[in-house]
Chain A
Amino acid sequence: MAKEIFMPKLSSTMEVGTLLQWFKEEGDSVEMGEPLFEIMTDKINIEVESYEEGILLKKYFKVDDEVEVNACIGYIGEAGEKVPDNPPAASEESESVENVQEEASAEGQEQTVSTDSDQEENKDGKVRATPAARRISRENDLSLSAISGSGPNGRVHQQDVEAALVAGVIAVTPLAEKIAADHGIDLNQITGTGARGKIEKQDVLSYLEKADEISKETESEPAERIKLKGLRKAVADKMVQSVQSIPHVTLTSDVDMTNVIDLRKSLLPVIEKDTGYRLSFTEVIIKATANALMKHPKLNASLIGDEIVMNNEVNIGLAVAVDNGLIVPSIKNVNQKGLAALTQTSKELGKKARENKLKPDEMRGSTFTISNLGMYAIDAFTPIINGPETAILGVGRIVEKPVVVDGELTARPMMVLSLSFDHRAIDGAPAAAFLTDLKANLENPYSLLV
């Protein structure tokens, strides 16, 4: 019997996947484990392998289609087997699981949600309206969907329809009406200057003139419009959510990097020989950060719901800029890794990220994030926390600056660290203490060996 091919759900936040390419055509034979198609999720591009072997019988979607997770996107089976012409509904098993979850959470929030009046339409697109409102709109040939309801959940009441009826009566002179109709102008767009706002010929003509000007303006410089989707959309959503829900506080501190530079110089050849990768300042900072996090576990915590989760592992996320956004691969158990292992892991993850080949697991589980803009002419900035983490470290460039050492003015390679923390979970003093320890670690990196 033919087996369905499903759009996989690769992360907890994934709702749809975009088909990037099919590796097989209908009629091709497919081996188990052979790449079947590639998709883009909100986090990653990934090749999906076949769980079945047989003939690819049907492809329901084409490249660039957005497909809901668990939806059937095709069939694999024996040659000549019949499969439906249209994709069947998403598999019941997985959906029922989702539903149970939704219901459970809905029940828990019922008290607060039920009075919420934002949602104007039910999920099925039906307008919520009272029978009286429906009757009057029916009698007056008015579309309920155009009326905004004043009742709970946006329910349309009789008075809303009546108000819409009154508002809908547009006073217009016959001539103005003809001209507007001739130009296909919605009279609602026009402000009348006649008695009690009656729309007159001149009002329509002015509107036409203005519309003409606007269209001329827009014609001259058509700006490119890029729809927020995929990774860009995921980044956008996450940033908004973080900024809107987390009270950010950012602390900065100057770090003298003289000793780190020395350390890197001496370790660079060793590690390169060992792993083939070149040690960068990033790995030293990761190491120093992990060390400080061990002493200040609060900064390594996650704030989930109304609980602060004290994470056992120190997994450091490393913000990597990719073509269309930002990906944060996670380096696991940093505190247990030496600089060589760290260098290897971080370089490999960075490469995968840039090539869009990270596995979902490699993007999960970070407990603290580092964002390094040191390769640019940036000193300090205010990084946005990667929730549910409670802190993020922003790393600036290393630049020679005049500093006073032992009463003498001298030039030193200095770097600014910017620590943003979630003030709901962490107060200023512990955050400052962490940053102070981190600064000490970096100014005396050999202490990391202790």
Chain B
Amino acid sequence: MRELTYLEAVREAMSQEMRQNEDVFILGEDIGVYGGAFGVTRGMIEEFGPERIRNTPISESGIAGAAVGAALTGMRPILELQFSDFITIAMDQMVNQAAKIRYMYGGKGKVPMVLRTPSGSGTGAAAQHSQSLEAWVAHVPGLKVVQPSTAHDVKGLLKAAMDDDNPVIFYEHKLLYKTKGDVPEEQYSIPLGKADIKREGTDVTIVATAIMVHRALEAAEELEKEGISAEVVDPRTLVPLDTETIIQSVSKTSRLVVVHEAVKRGGYGAEIASMIAESEAFDYLDAPIKRLGGASSPIPYNPELEKMHVPQVPDIIQAVKETLNKA
């Protein structure tokens, strides 16, 4: 199969959709000729023109508001925020407008829009450009939250997000943009709310999101050499969450390690851990659930400290061994 980068897969998903659906357009800062902060929309303005690849002023609140309005009037906008940290400015539009309108109008209006935005650390972009704030939006009913980890997943999930009649927050990971994978040429959709078992195992379940999926897989590889069989589950969408797959996996392995890059305190891992503790998998737990997440500090600029802030492969290995009393 053909290989594409994660970034190319995002672009292809949008281009293919825009070719067949006139209602879809993109708006964001410098997404036109410049191609966006990470170059995702590069070349698209040449194909779709400035009407559909719309540069906006530097106002996330304005962009989001415009997208909500467009969606309400029947368009299917995709808006791009340069860094997911800036969602703070768009928060009122997303939380109080986008998330609520369909509910408050009894379904008479809907807000089919996708907010695409790169998150995560590892690029030396320091405290204001490196955060993973997905737990904030996951907390708000009315918003769907997607965190793809591979080129294949990102194309299919973005198609599903664009097809969805609800506002979807679509997190792309900065460090994943350059990763490659097999991606089918035709359009396809991966349903939101369907987790993917990235690796099967029997001794411990590692639920990992975004870039942590790759670190978990690497850890699993190392653990296998020591006879520990780890199952790696990628939820892919935080809202809706595929609880069934995770519960089944934990019931099988009796041990759970949740890994995400976002700060551990109040992170989405707490939701997954609680969900398991409340589920029928509880009686199968044979070790305390472990969470790995970012440190309780702003993300440092110093590259070494930046690495230390988020879980790395050895941390995952260590956590897994602790659940197995082998640390």
Contacts and interface: CB of A to CB of B under 8 A. Distances in A.
* Chains A and B in contact, CB within 8 Å: yes
Interface of A: 130-135, 150-152, 157-159
B283 A157 contact: no
24 contacts: A130-B254, A130-B285, A130-B286, A130-B287, A130-B288, A131-B282, A131-B283, A131-B284, A131-B285, A131-B286, A132-B254, A132-B283, A132-B286, A133-B286, A135-B283, A135-B284, A150-B325, A151-B287, A151-B325, A152-B325, A157-B286, A157-B287, A158-B254, A159-B286
B325 A132 contact: no
A25 to B, nearest CB: 55
A142 to B, nearest CB: 15
Interface string B46-86: 00000000000000000000000000000000000000000
Nearest to A135: B283
Nearest to A152: B325
Contact of A157 (B282, B284, B325): B325
A132 B323 CA distance: 13
Interface string B239-265: 000000000000000100000000000
A361 to B, nearest CB: 49
Main secondary structure of the interface of A (DSSP, over half): helix
Contacts of B286: 130-133, 157-159
Nearest to A134: B283
A133 B254 CA distance: 10
Contacts of B283: 131-132, 134-135
Contacts of A130: 254, 285-288
A288 to B, nearest CB: 58
Nearest to A158: B286
A322 to B, nearest CB: 50
Interface in B284-326: 284-288, 325
Contacts of B282: 131
Q: Which of A132, A150, A151 has the largest number of chain B CB atoms within 10 A?
A: A132
Contacts of B325: 150-152, 157
A109 to B, nearest CB: 20
Nearest to B287: A130
A150 B325 CA distance: 8
Q: Which 8 A-B pairs have the closest CB atoms?
A: A132-B286, A135-B283, A158-B286, A131-B285, A130-B286, A132-B254, A131-B282, A151-B325
Contacts of B285: 130-132
A36 B51 CA distance: 98
B197 to A, nearest CB: 21
A229 to B, nearest CB: 38
Nearest to A149: B325
A134 B286 CA distance: 9
Nearest to B282: A131
Nearest to B284: A132
A151 B286 CA distance: 10
Contacts of A134: 283
A138 to B, nearest CB: 9
B281 to A, nearest CB: 9
Contacts of B284: 131-132, 135
Contacts of B288: 130
B101 to A, nearest CB: 43
B227 to A, nearest CB: 14
Contacts of A157: 286-287, 325
A132 B204 CA distance: 14
A152 B326 CA distance: 10
A165 to B, nearest CB: 15
A98 to B, nearest CB: 29
Contacts of A159: 286
A159 B285 CA distance: 12
A151 B254 CA distance: 14
Interface in B18-51: none
Nearest to A133: B286
Contacts of A131: 282-286
Which of A131, A134, A135, A152 gathers the greatest number of chain B CB atoms within 10 Å? A131
A111 to B, nearest CB: 15
A130 B254 CA distance: 10
Interface in B269-283: 282-283
B208 to A, nearest CB: 22
B10 to A, nearest CB: 41
A94 to B, nearest CB: 35
B320 to A, nearest CB: 15
Contacts of A151: 287, 325
A157 B287 CA distance: 7
B205 to A, nearest CB: 13
Nearest to A130: B286
A131 B286 CA distance: 6
A132 to B, nearest CB: 4
A118 to B, nearest CB: 15
Given A158-B254, A159-B286, 8 more contacts: A130-B287, A130-B288, A131-B282, A131-B284, A132-B286, A135-B284, A151-B287, A157-B287
A135 B286 CA distance: 10
A158 to B, nearest CB: 4
A35 B287 CA distance: 57
A110 B122 CA distance: 33
Contacts of B254: 130, 132, 158
A159 B282 CA distance: 16
Contacts of A150: 325
A169 to B, nearest CB: 21
A279 B282 CA distance: 77
A152 B322 CA distance: 9
